[in-house]
Amino acid sequence: MRRAGRRGYSDPMKAFAPGQRWTYRTRPGEETSTLMVLGRDQSAAGQVAVSVRIEDIVLRPPIGGIITELMHAPIEETALRQSVTELLQEGLPLPSDLGSYETWRLEFEKGGAGAFDLPLADTLDLIDRAAEHQPPSLQHPLFRKTNVQIIAPFEEEETPAGHSQGRGGQA
Protein backbone atom coordinates (compact mmCIF):
# COMPACT_ATOMS: atom_id res chain seq x y z
CA MET A 1 0.00 0.00 0.00
CA ARG A 2 1.39 3.43 -0.93
CA ARG A 3 0.75 6.94 0.24
CA ALA A 4 -0.50 9.10 -2.59
CA GLY A 5 1.84 11.96 -1.93
CA ARG A 6 2.43 14.37 0.90
CA ARG A 7 -0.43 15.33 3.22
CA GLY A 8 -2.65 18.03 1.80
CA TYR A 9 -1.79 17.32 -1.83
CA SER A 10 -3.12 14.85 -4.32
CA ASP A 11 -4.16 14.93 -7.94
CA PRO A 12 -7.88 15.75 -7.82
CA MET A 13 -8.30 14.42 -11.37
CA LYS A 14 -6.66 11.05 -10.73
CA ALA A 15 -8.88 8.26 -12.05
CA PHE A 16 -10.84 6.36 -9.44
CA ALA A 17 -9.56 2.80 -9.02
CA PRO A 18 -10.31 -0.07 -6.63
CA GLY A 19 -8.23 0.02 -3.45
CA GLN A 20 -7.94 3.80 -3.19
CA ARG A 21 -8.73 5.57 0.09
CA TRP A 22 -9.91 9.20 -0.18
CA THR A 23 -10.96 11.95 2.17
CA TYR A 24 -14.07 13.84 1.15
CA ARG A 25 -16.21 16.82 2.09
CA THR A 26 -17.88 15.28 5.12
CA ARG A 27 -20.90 16.11 7.19
CA PRO A 28 -20.29 17.99 10.46
CA GLY A 29 -19.01 15.61 13.13
CA GLU A 30 -17.67 13.08 10.61
CA GLU A 31 -14.40 14.82 9.77
CA THR A 32 -12.38 11.60 10.19
CA SER A 33 -14.56 9.71 7.70
CA THR A 34 -12.92 8.28 4.60
CA LEU A 35 -14.07 6.27 1.63
CA MET A 36 -12.54 3.31 -0.15
CA VAL A 37 -13.14 2.75 -3.84
CA LEU A 38 -14.51 -0.74 -4.54
CA GLY A 39 -15.01 -0.40 -8.29
CA ARG A 40 -15.81 1.87 -11.23
CA ASP A 41 -18.55 0.67 -13.57
CA GLN A 42 -20.43 1.82 -16.65
CA SER A 43 -24.06 1.10 -17.48
CA ALA A 44 -25.36 0.12 -20.91
CA ALA A 45 -26.58 3.74 -21.23
CA GLY A 46 -23.10 5.11 -20.53
CA GLN A 47 -23.64 6.23 -16.91
CA VAL A 48 -20.42 5.88 -14.88
CA ALA A 49 -20.67 5.09 -11.18
CA VAL A 50 -18.05 4.51 -8.52
CA SER A 51 -18.88 2.11 -5.71
CA VAL A 52 -17.44 3.09 -2.36
CA ARG A 53 -17.26 1.84 1.20
CA ILE A 54 -17.64 4.67 3.73
CA GLU A 55 -16.10 4.49 7.21
CA ASP A 56 -16.42 6.56 10.40
CA ILE A 57 -19.93 7.86 9.77
CA VAL A 58 -22.97 8.17 12.02
CA LEU A 59 -26.27 6.91 10.64
CA ARG A 60 -29.17 6.21 12.97
CA PRO A 61 -31.36 3.36 11.71
CA PRO A 62 -34.96 3.07 12.90
CA ILE A 63 -34.13 -0.07 14.89
CA GLY A 64 -31.80 1.95 17.11
CA GLY A 65 -28.06 1.97 17.47
CA ILE A 66 -25.58 3.64 15.17
CA ILE A 67 -24.23 2.59 11.80
CA THR A 68 -20.57 3.60 11.51
CA GLU A 69 -19.73 1.93 8.21
CA LEU A 70 -21.63 1.69 4.94
CA MET A 71 -20.15 -1.24 3.04
CA HIS A 72 -21.45 -0.26 -0.42
CA ALA A 73 -22.78 2.96 -1.88
CA PRO A 74 -22.82 3.57 -5.66
CA ILE A 75 -22.22 7.25 -6.51
CA GLU A 76 -22.18 8.81 -9.98
CA GLU A 77 -18.58 9.58 -10.86
CA THR A 78 -19.19 13.32 -11.35
CA ALA A 79 -20.84 13.61 -7.91
CA LEU A 80 -18.00 11.70 -6.27
CA ARG A 81 -15.41 13.85 -8.06
CA GLN A 82 -17.06 16.92 -6.47
CA SER A 83 -16.87 15.25 -3.05
CA VAL A 84 -13.30 13.96 -2.76
CA THR A 85 -10.55 16.17 -1.38
CA GLU A 86 -7.42 14.05 -1.01
CA LEU A 87 -6.17 10.67 -2.16
CA LEU A 88 -4.63 9.10 0.94
CA GLN A 89 -3.66 5.60 -0.19
CA GLU A 90 -3.65 3.32 -3.22
CA GLY A 91 -3.42 -0.43 -3.63
CA LEU A 92 -5.34 -1.34 -0.48
CA PRO A 93 -6.81 -4.85 -0.40
CA LEU A 94 -10.55 -4.89 -1.03
CA PRO A 95 -12.91 -6.21 1.65
CA SER A 96 -13.68 -9.92 1.37
CA ASP A 97 -17.47 -9.38 1.32
CA LEU A 98 -18.32 -7.70 -1.98
CA GLY A 99 -21.62 -9.53 -2.48
CA SER A 100 -23.85 -6.44 -2.48
CA TYR A 101 -21.45 -4.62 -4.81
CA GLU A 102 -21.38 -7.55 -7.25
CA THR A 103 -25.18 -7.90 -7.22
CA TRP A 104 -25.59 -4.17 -7.83
CA ARG A 105 -22.89 -4.12 -10.56
CA LEU A 106 -24.58 -6.84 -12.62
CA GLU A 107 -27.89 -4.95 -12.53
CA PHE A 108 -26.25 -1.57 -13.16
CA GLU A 109 -24.45 -2.81 -16.26
CA LYS A 110 -27.82 -3.95 -17.67
CA GLY A 111 -29.54 -0.68 -16.73
CA GLY A 112 -31.57 -2.20 -13.90
CA ALA A 113 -29.92 -0.30 -11.03
CA GLY A 114 -28.80 3.26 -10.51
CA ALA A 115 -26.41 5.35 -8.47
CA PHE A 116 -26.72 8.35 -6.20
CA ASP A 117 -26.20 11.60 -8.12
CA LEU A 118 -25.59 13.84 -5.10
CA PRO A 119 -22.28 14.67 -3.41
CA LEU A 120 -21.42 12.05 -0.81
CA ALA A 121 -22.32 14.14 2.27
CA ASP A 122 -25.74 14.91 0.75
CA THR A 123 -26.22 11.22 -0.06
CA LEU A 124 -25.55 10.32 3.59
CA ASP A 125 -28.03 13.00 4.68
CA LEU A 126 -30.62 11.51 2.33
CA ILE A 127 -30.07 8.02 3.76
CA ASP A 128 -30.30 9.40 7.30
CA ARG A 129 -33.56 11.24 6.57
CA ALA A 130 -35.07 8.15 4.94
CA ALA A 131 -34.21 6.09 8.02
CA GLU A 132 -35.55 8.69 10.42
CA HIS A 133 -39.12 8.30 9.15
CA GLN A 134 -39.26 4.50 9.07
CA PRO A 135 -40.73 2.73 12.11
CA PRO A 136 -38.98 -0.58 12.84
CA SER A 137 -41.92 -2.58 11.51
CA LEU A 138 -41.59 -0.82 8.15
CA GLN A 139 -37.83 -0.78 7.93
CA HIS A 140 -36.26 0.55 4.79
CA PRO A 141 -34.51 -2.32 2.94
CA LEU A 142 -31.16 -0.58 3.45
CA PHE A 143 -31.27 -1.41 7.15
CA ARG A 144 -32.11 -5.07 6.59
CA LYS A 145 -28.96 -5.59 4.53
CA THR A 146 -26.29 -7.85 5.92
CA ASN A 147 -23.47 -5.51 4.89
CA VAL A 148 -24.47 -2.80 7.37
CA GLN A 149 -22.82 -2.81 10.78
CA ILE A 150 -25.00 -1.55 13.62
CA ILE A 151 -23.34 -0.73 16.91
CA ALA A 152 -25.65 -0.97 19.93
CA PRO A 153 -27.60 -3.56 21.83
CA PHE A 154 -30.88 -4.62 20.25
CA GLU A 155 -33.78 -5.80 22.36
CA GLU A 156 -37.20 -7.16 21.53
CA GLU A 157 -40.05 -5.56 23.40
CA GLU A 158 -43.71 -6.50 23.44
CA THR A 159 -46.21 -3.89 22.25
CA PRO A 160 -49.71 -3.71 23.77
CA ALA A 161 -51.07 -5.64 20.77
CA GLY A 162 -48.64 -8.48 21.53
CA HIS A 163 -46.33 -7.75 18.57
CA SER A 164 -42.58 -7.64 18.99
CA GLN A 165 -40.95 -4.35 18.24
CA GLY A 166 -37.20 -3.76 18.16
CA ARG A 167 -35.60 -1.13 20.31
CA GLY A 168 -31.94 -0.23 20.06
CA GLY A 169 -29.87 0.96 22.94
CA GLN A 170 -27.51 3.87 23.23
CA ALA A 171 -24.08 3.43 21.71
Does residue 62 surpass a pLDDT of 80?
no
Q: Which pTM does this prediction carry?
A: 0.74
- Per-residue pLDDT reduced to its tens digit, 75-118: 999 999 999 999 999 999 999 999 999 999 999 999 999 999 99
Alpha-helix runs per DSSP H in 1-132:
77-83, 99-110, 120-132
Task: Please count the structural domains in the chain.
Answer: 1
CA 111, CA 100: separation in Å to the nearest integer? 16
**CB burial string 139-156: b at 16+ within 10 A, e below:** eeebbeeebbebebeeee
CA 73, CA 75: separation in Å to the nearest integer? 6
- According to DSSP, residue 67 is labeled E
CA 118, CA 1: separation in Å to the nearest integer? 30
| Whether the Cβ atoms of residue 17 and residue 90 lie closer than 8 Å to each other | yes
CA 103, CA 66: separation in Å to the nearest integer? 25
Which residues constitute the domain of residue 6? Answer: 2-168
- Per-residue pLDDT reduced to its tens digit, 111-165: 999 999 999 999 999 988 887 766 555 454 554 444 444 444 444 444 444 444 4
CA-based nearest residue to 49, from 10, 98, 104, 4: 104
CA-based R_g, the chain, Å: 17
Single-letter residue type at 66: I
CA 104, CA 110: separation in Å to the nearest integer? 10
